[in-house]
């Protein structure tokens, strides 16, 4: 519905005009009348009409005074001028006021209705243009916002380190007027990002929190909490309110969530630093802390170096393709983690990173592209996104089972000859402590039988075979390196240097030093 007013000092003219417009009542309604320009300005302020129908020749304030004032104060009003005078000055004033028509009295029903409908169409066209402008601006802002969120996701993970300006008005404004705290959310079950965003809106955090999903892991999400520089509520209070609400929402849905919380940062450019703080906070979680929020603290606790005395046996079982045994030992490993007082997720990951490097070495013996099985970088990428001990164990189980099965037929231990397996093991692990007791346990044999079998097949004692292999490796190091004697001894499996000398002298009929001197002399002569 559109509204109009009539301004004319003659009441009959006003009445007649309204009469001629009655048939348009479903579209148009009269909002009032005035007898002069002064009263009209007051009426316009009160009723805000869409269309103004005005005479020119009026008392108090005529059209020549009223129209300039009207066009200045209400430039968007649709104006129709009616006059009994075909006066150039009147026409000029109407044109300057951007009147859409100038009608001479007396005018017909068709003339005034045609002018009014033209005014209505002009109003509609302007509204459509404005709506289109608004729509395009909204579309542009939405596209800019989407681009910015993608940029921020990359920036969080360190993929984008540029200082590119944000393009969306909303995020750019927030960035300039707020500090931020970042939270990394982790759940064993996939996080439904739409539900998290809806929850933030319902909890009235919508303008203060931005939720971003992890690009590769559905179990991870990022919540950027914006803190106004001038706020009645402290950042700590706001942070704890959000955490409390999140925990309540997840728990009510029977879900567990871990939340790592960063320090306060001044800009979205610092998101990657904030992210690393949240990861450090989550990794510092002790294994028995199954849920809750964890705040980044400085100084950070150093990673505890773990020592599992069954590591060598585990790697052997893996390389030998003994999958069932390997799986049992993997369970033992994770029980070992749980037995360590104050053991953290970071401690576990550090041990597994080292283990993955040793697995990579084993795989390199058999596959040209060993990286596809156990590349430390890919293992680290996956482990970095896991913060649950059970999820970490499940990942390791899948990975190592696949490796064990792949090695089952390729392994140097694939032969049925136990003695050959023992000899291979010594050649591959001479630097480690090796005893017949240990070897017999690896191959599930009685110690005495193992010793007897080895001598019967090779014609020499097991200990003599081990020493022979070690001394050959020592001779190589003496020829090709400048390592000291204690370093060489340790490198080939002798913790006691004197014993190393004794064994070397027995087998080579000379000391290691003498051997090195002779080798150097021979090389000079050549």
Altogether, the residues listed in the chain come to a count of 526
- Give the mean pLDDT of 445-470: 94
Separation of first and last alpha carbons in the chain: 110
- What confidence category does residue 195 fall into, taking pLDDT thresholds of 50, 70 and 90? confident
φ/ψ of 430, rounded to 5, equals -60, -25
- Indicate if the pLDDT at residue 272 is higher than 60: yes
To the nearest whole number, what is the mean pLDDT of the chain? 87
404-419 pLDDT, tens per residue?
A: 999 988 888 888 899 9
The residues facing 4 across adjacent strands are 30, 51
- What confidence category does residue 374 fall into, taking pLDDT thresholds of 50, 70 and 90? very low
pLDDT value, residue 525: 62
Which burial class, exposed, middle or buried, applies to 378 when counting CB atoms under 10 A from its CB (0-12, 13-18, 19+)? middle
Contact by Cβ (8 Å): 261, 281: yes
pLDDT value, residue 98: 75
- Long-range contacts of 363-367, Cβ-Cβ distance < 8 Å, separation of 24 or more: 363/403, 365/412, 366/407, 366/410, 366/411, 367/406
Distance of alpha carbon 515 from alpha carbon 478, whole angstroms: 8
Distance of alpha carbon 38 from alpha carbon 32, whole angstroms: 14
Q: Tokens 């004197």 sit at which residue?
A: 498
pLDDT value, residue 427: 92
Contact by Cβ (8 Å): 388, 186: yes
Q: Tokens 């008005």 sit at which residue?
A: 169
Q: Is the pTM of this model over 0.85?
A: no
Q: Which two tokens stand for residue 478?
A: 């003496």
Helices (H), 229-364: 235-252, 271-283, 311-319, 323-339, 345-364
Which burial class, exposed, middle or buried, applies to 272 when counting CB atoms under 10 A from its CB (0-12, 13-18, 19+)? middle
Which superfamily, per CATH, for 2-128?
A: Response regulator (3.40.50.2300)
- What confidence category does residue 346 fall into, taking pLDDT thresholds of 50, 70 and 90? very high
pLDDT value, residue 47: 93
- What confidence category does residue 371 fall into, taking pLDDT thresholds of 50, 70 and 90? very low
Distance of alpha carbon 356 from alpha carbon 380, whole angstroms: 9
Q: What angle do CA 345, 349, 355 make, to 5 degrees?
A: 150
pLDDT value, residue 400: 95
59-91 pLDDT, tens per residue?
A: 998 888 888 888 888 888 888 988 776 665 666
Distance of alpha carbon 158 from alpha carbon 32, whole angstroms: 65
119-163 pLDDT, tens per residue?
A: 999 888 888 888 887 778 888 888 888 888 888 888 888 887 776
pLDDT value, residue 376: 47
- What confidence category does residue 103 fall into, taking pLDDT thresholds of 50, 70 and 90? confident
Cis preceding linkage at 106, omega within 30: yes
- What confidence category does residue 526 fall into, taking pLDDT thresholds of 50, 70 and 90? low
- Indicate if the pLDDT at residue 275 is higher than 70: yes
Q: How far is CA 69 from CA 8, 46, 459, in A?
A: 17, 16, 120
- Indicate if the pLDDT at residue 308 is higher than 80: yes
- Give the mean pLDDT of 325-332: 96
Contact by Cβ (8 Å): 30, 5: yes
Which burial class, exposed, middle or buried, applies to 383 when counting CB atoms under 10 A from its CB (0-12, 13-18, 19+)? buried
Q: Which fold has domain 418-525?
A: Arc Repressor Mutant, subunit A (1.10.10)
Q: At what angle do helices 389-407 and 345-364 cross, to 10 degrees?
A: 10
Q: For residue 204, give the 3-state DSSP assignment.
A: coil
Contact by Cβ (8 Å): 51, 80: yes
pLDDT value, residue 131: 81
Say what percent of the chain tops pLDDT 90: 45
- Indicate if the pLDDT at residue 377 is higher than 80: no
Q: Which two tokens stand for residue 259?
A: 């939340």
- What confidence category does residue 206 fall into, taking pLDDT thresholds of 50, 70 and 90? low
pLDDT greater at residue 483 or residue 142? 483
Cis preceding linkage at 440, omega within 30: no
Q: What is the CATH number of domain 169-295?
A: 3.30.70
pLDDT value, residue 291: 75
236-262 pLDDT, tens per residue?
A: 777 888 888 888 888 777 788 899 999
CB atoms within 10 A of CB 83: 20
Which residues have a Cβ under 8 Å from the Cβ of 378 and sit 6 or more positions away? 371
- Indicate if the pLDDT at residue 491 is higher than 90: yes
Which residues have a Cβ under 8 Å from the Cβ of 445 and sit 6 or more positions away? 418, 453
Q: Tokens 């404004």 sit at which residue?
A: 173
What are the counts of helices (DSSP H) followed by strands (DSSP E) for the chain?
Answer: 22, 10
Distance of alpha carbon 313 from alpha carbon 436, whole angstroms: 14
pLDDT value, residue 479: 92
- What confidence category does residue 230 fall into, taking pLDDT thresholds of 50, 70 and 90? low
């Amino acid at each position: 519905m559109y509204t109009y007013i009539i301004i004319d000092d003659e009441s009959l003219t006003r009445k007649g005009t309204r009469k001629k417009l009655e048939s348009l009542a479903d579209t148009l309604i009269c909002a009032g009348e005035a007898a002069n320009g002064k009263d009209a300005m007051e009426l316009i302020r009160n009723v805000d009409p869409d269309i103004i129908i005005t005479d020119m020749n009026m008392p108090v304030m005529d059209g020549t005074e009223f129209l300039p004032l009207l066009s200045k104060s209400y430039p968007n009003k649709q104006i129709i001028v009616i006059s009994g005078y075909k006066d150039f000055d009147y026409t000029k004033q109407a044109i300057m006021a951007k009147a859409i028509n100038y009608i001479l009295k007396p005018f017909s029903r068709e003339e005034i209705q045609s002018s009014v409908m033209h005014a209505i169409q002009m109003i509609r066209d302007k509204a459509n243009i404005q709506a289109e402008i608004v729509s395009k601006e909204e579309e542009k802002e939405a596209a800019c916002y989407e681009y910015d969120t993608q940029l921020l996701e990359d920036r969080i993970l360190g993929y984008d380190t540029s200082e590119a300006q944000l393009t969306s008005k909303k995020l750019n404004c927030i960035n300039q007027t707020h500090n931020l705290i970042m939270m990394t959310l982790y759940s064993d079950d996939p996080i439904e990002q739409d539900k998290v965003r809806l929850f933030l809106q319902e909890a009235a955090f919508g303008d203060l929190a931005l939720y971003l999903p992890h690009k590769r892991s559905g179990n991870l999400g990022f919540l950027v909490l914006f803190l106004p520089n001038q706020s009645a509520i402290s950042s700590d209070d706001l942070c704890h309110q959000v955490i409390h609400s999140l925990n309540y929402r997840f728990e009510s849905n029977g879900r567990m969530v871990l939340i790592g919380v960063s320090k306060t940062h001044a800009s979205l450019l610092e998101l990657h630093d904030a992210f690393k703080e949240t990861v450090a906070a989550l990794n510092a979680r002790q294994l028995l802390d199954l849920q809750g929020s964890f705040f980044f603290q400085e100084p950070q606790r150093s990673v505890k170096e773990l020592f599992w005395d069954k590591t060598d046996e585990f790697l052997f079982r893996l390389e030998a393709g003994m999958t069932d045994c390997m799986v049992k030992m993997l369970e033992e490993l994770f029980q070992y983690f749980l037995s360590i007082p104050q053991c953290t997720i970071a401690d576990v990951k550090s041990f597994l990173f080292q283990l993955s490097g040793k697995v990579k070495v084993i795989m390199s013996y058999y596959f040209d592209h060993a990286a596809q099985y156990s590349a430390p970088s890919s293992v680290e990428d996956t482990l970095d996104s896991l913060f649950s001990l059970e999820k970490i164990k499940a990942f390791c189980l899948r990975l190592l089972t696949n490796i064990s099965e792949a090695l089952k037929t390729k392994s140097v231990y694939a032969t049925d000859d136990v003695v050959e397996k023992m000899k291979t093991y010594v050649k591959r692990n001479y630097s480690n402590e090796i005893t017949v007791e240990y070897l017999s346990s690896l191959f599930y044999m009685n110690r005495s039988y193992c010793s007897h079998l080895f001598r019967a097949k090779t014609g020499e004692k097991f200990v003599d075979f081990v020493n022979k292999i070690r001394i050959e490796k020592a001779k190589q190091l003496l020829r090709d390196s400048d390592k000291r004697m204690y370093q060489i001894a340790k490198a080939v499996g002798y913790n006691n240097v004197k014993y190393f000398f004794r064994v070397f002298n027995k087998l080579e009929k000379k000391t290691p030093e003498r051997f090195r001197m002779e080798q150097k002399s021979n090389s000079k002569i050549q």
